Amino acid sequence: MNTSQGSAGNVIAALASFLFPGLGQLLQGRLLAAFLFFITAGIIWLISFGTMGWLIHIWACIDAAVWTKDRF
């Protein structure tokens, strides 16, 4: 999968992260980031009774959309 910023792969990863936070990162092969987004979103959804979890969803989408291999 091409994972340069703005590529079709990143768009698919961003959409996947919108459905399940961390899924886009998982598609990009970033296991730790995927796990952290998934767990953090779940905890915030539970603590805030379903109101603040969208922040992590949006953050996961943006992170998947702008990630490039050579950034780290």
State pTM to two decimals: 0.76
Q: What is the pLDDT of residues 21-68, one digit of tens each?
A: 888 889 888 899 999 989 988 898 888 887 787 888 888 888 888 877
Q: Angle 33-9-26 (CA atoms, 0-180°, nearest 5)?
A: 25
CA pair distance 33, 68, nearest whole angstrom? 14
**The two structure tokens encoding residue 49:** 């009774």
Where does the pLDDT of residue 2 fall: very low under 50, low under 70, confident under 90, or very high at 90 and above? very low
